[in-house]
Structure 1
Amino acid sequence: MAKIVVTESVTLDGVMQGLGRMDEDTRGGFRHGGWGTPYMDSAMMEVMGRGMASTGAMLFGRRTYEDFFKVWHGRTDGNPFTEKLDNTRKYVASRTLAQPPSWQNSILLTGDVVQAVEALKKEQDHDIAVLGSGELVRSLLSAGLVDRFVLSIHPLVLGSGRRLFPDDGLLAKFRLVDSVPTGTGVVIASYEVKRE
């Protein structure tokens, strides 16, 4: 049975919105896009590369899937992630996509997302990675489907933006299983979800 492994970059105040680019996610008037870019270093790339190497499939919400497709699909700049992203099975949870996803190896999940992900966990033998996709992550966590978080905790406070864990979320407990500090002050912490 597969595990759902959520990989997120967050600030000290829990913001996950608009990590990579100024225009990545401006919902709610968010003006701090691209906050994570200055913190990228070789230690972070190594940890992320190991995580992607152990991934059997990926699971995205619609917004994150469309952004990843726009940024990563078919790149020829020699980065280490395009080939993995292109060739890995990608599942997309969406209530609004009418067309099948156009990125190769992509499957649109239909019906109830919680039931669909429960079935995926039973079918798969390797980890299923969730990247970004905050709304989807919150749904999966409340349904008890997330097994591990890999959080890249950045040493800054933005004061506004969409957070990974909202104020109205449920109580959840975690156990630290690994941590790696980077040269830029990011701490990559892996937490297993504690089951009561």
Structure 2
Amino acid sequence: MAEIILFHSVLGLRAGVADAAERLRAAGHTVHTPDLYDGEVFDDYPTAMAWVKSNGGFAELAARTRAAVAELPEALVYAGFSNGGCSAELLAATRPGARAVVLLHAALPLEALDVQGAWPADLPVQVHYAAEDPFRDEQHYLDAFEAEVLASGSGYEFFEYPVSGHLFTDPGLPEEYHPEAAETLFSRVLAFLEQVDRRP
């Protein structure tokens, strides 16, 4: 079974993250859910984004991201929702020993994360997005990230769901939540983790 670190979205460590972690634990995985916001939780994106900006922005989040794994082993699966996907990408690209990456409603080319160099060789990635995600970056960002991963020789899976909303997996966001899409997403994540477990 995998040891996973699952990073929360820009809205903070909401109950939806705990729910996702429990799904993974029920399948036998070990899951860590660090709180990068020191207890702050938000219900809307503008307020959350303003809080991040006023508390050091990306540089501070990156520092907190690195601190979150200081006591953890290197052989981790990195996963994250939205902003947490950026945390997962950052660590996977810069910390040795990563086993796989799961990006939920997030994906950026390494340059956008101020990461120099190539994607690590043989580090598989799975990406999930709503077709009508209002925060989905321009298609060339996704294309650039896919190209970086494939150029390393790593596996790359991309799944798009015919729904709207950003965090469509979070039951606590009724205007965005799509239960059927969420069930499909988590089934795909669990299948991906089974593949990771079978890797030497």
Common fold: TM-score over 0.5: no
Q: TM-score range by the shorter chain?
A: 0.3 to 0.5
TM (norm. structure 2) is: 0.36
* Larger RCO (CA within 8 A; separation ≥ 6): 1
Greater per-residue helix proportion:
2
Normalising by the residue count of structure 1, what TM-score does the alignment of the two structures yield?
0.37
